[in-house]
Amino acid sequence: MWEATWLYLYLTWIRPMIKWILRKILGTCELQRICRGYGGAARTKRVEKSLKLSKYKLLQEMTHGDVHVDCDVDQKVQDIMQIKGVSQEKDPQFAPSLRACLVQIRGYQELIHEVEEVRGEKYSSDNQEHENMLLQLWDHLMPDTSLESRITKQWGDIGFQGDDPRTDFRGMGMLGLHNLFFFADQQTELARQVLQHSHHPQYGYSFAIVGINITSLTYSLLVRGKLRTHFYNFPSPPKLSHFHLLYCHLLVEFDKFWFAEKPKNIMEFTRIRNKFEKKLLSLLRDDSTVLRGSFVEKGEQS
């Protein structure tokens, strides 16, 4: 009860009063002070929070706009400057700094939407594109071994639970397959190394199942807003391929983490997975954090 009362007082009276006093003393609004004092994720996250807590509905809407509606970022910047009474002549750096933040905020929203669409697509054996991707996943990981048939116990060799991998994609939909395929297709040798690790006689695990679980973790971090730290530190808004690259990094890092923990058996997976997530969340609390490996998309390689 007291916490709710304090929050109400802070948002309704204390915060507006502090902002008013600082504006009178410094001659700048909160957004100007943020843009001048911070960079990267630290700046964008603070701009986003300031907009969310604004008394102006137009500013609040900029942090949760409809991704189906085109967003004129330049017009949004002008709207903010007009509402806040910021002069382009007196503060020429404000508009480009604010614009960079709004582009990132919008980009993160669009990435969530795109990832949700892929996750919402269910694997279908009647969809030839789905089937082809699954079969290519096998070819990338097991180039010297041919599948005896589409439904076979051989799928267990790359870490699926049953004779038909289709059933393992129920939780994450096609996002799970897209992540695994991207890893195997873009980072083939590394993916084969991790697969080989998963066959360890003492610390082995199911490669594909763990991979889908890491998809779930990466997705969860994204929709909870935890990956804003990572993506806001890049100069351009995130794309779906950036999500896949981050997935590759997290799967490789989990493989290292798993072996470092020396699990007694696979029953320790939940404990180790939760410990891994806790470590990630700790890293992401630092606004300078960027979670990435030493690899890029094939098309970006020189």
Domain assignment present for 5: no
Long-range contacts, 29-35 (Cβ 8 Å, 24+): 29/84, 29/85, 29/86, 31/80, 31/84, 31/86, 31/94, 31/98, 32/84, 32/86, 32/91, 32/94, 35/93, 35/94, 35/97, 35/98, 35/101
Burial 192-202 (b: 16+ CB within 10 A, else e): eebbebbeeee
Tokens of 298: 């094939």
pLDDT at residue 294, as a whole number: 45
Domain assignment present for 230: yes
**Angle, helices 30-37/15-26, rounded to nearest 10 degrees:** 70
Q: Is the pLDDT of residue 16 over 80?
A: no
What is the model's pTM?
0.89
- Gap between the Cα atoms of 52 and 54, Å rounded: 6
In this structure, the answer to whether residues 56 and 110 fall within a common structural domain is: yes
In this structure, the answer to whether residues 109 and 172 fall within a common structural domain is: no
Phi-psi label, residue 143: left if phi above 0, alpha if psi -120 to 50, beta otherwise: alpha
- Gap between the Cα atoms of 96 and 8, Å rounded: 33
Residue 245's alpha-carbon distances to 80, 94, 112, 180, in angstroms, are: 34, 32, 15, 11
pLDDT at residue 263, as a whole number: 96
pLDDT at residue 57, as a whole number: 86
pLDDT at residue 199, as a whole number: 97
Q: What is the pLDDT of residues 42-70, one digit of tens each?
A: 999 999 999 998 888 888 888 876 766 67
Tokens of 277: 């997530």
- Gap between the Cα atoms of 19 and 28, Å rounded: 9
* Contact yes or no for 229/284 (Cβ under 8 A): yes
Amino acid at 108: Y
Residue 214's alpha-carbon distances to 38, 148, 163, 221, 273, in angstroms, are: 32, 29, 22, 10, 9
Domain assignment present for 9: no
Q: Is the pLDDT of residue 107 over 70?
A: yes
In this structure, the answer to whether residues 110 and 132 fall within a common structural domain is: no
In this structure, the answer to whether residues 134 and 266 fall within a common structural domain is: yes
In this structure, the answer to whether residues 112 and 136 fall within a common structural domain is: no
Total structural domains in the chain?
Answer: 2
Amino acid at 148: E
Domain assignment present for 275: yes
Q: Is the pLDDT of residue 9 over 50?
A: yes
In this structure, the answer to whether residues 99 and 187 fall within a common structural domain is: no
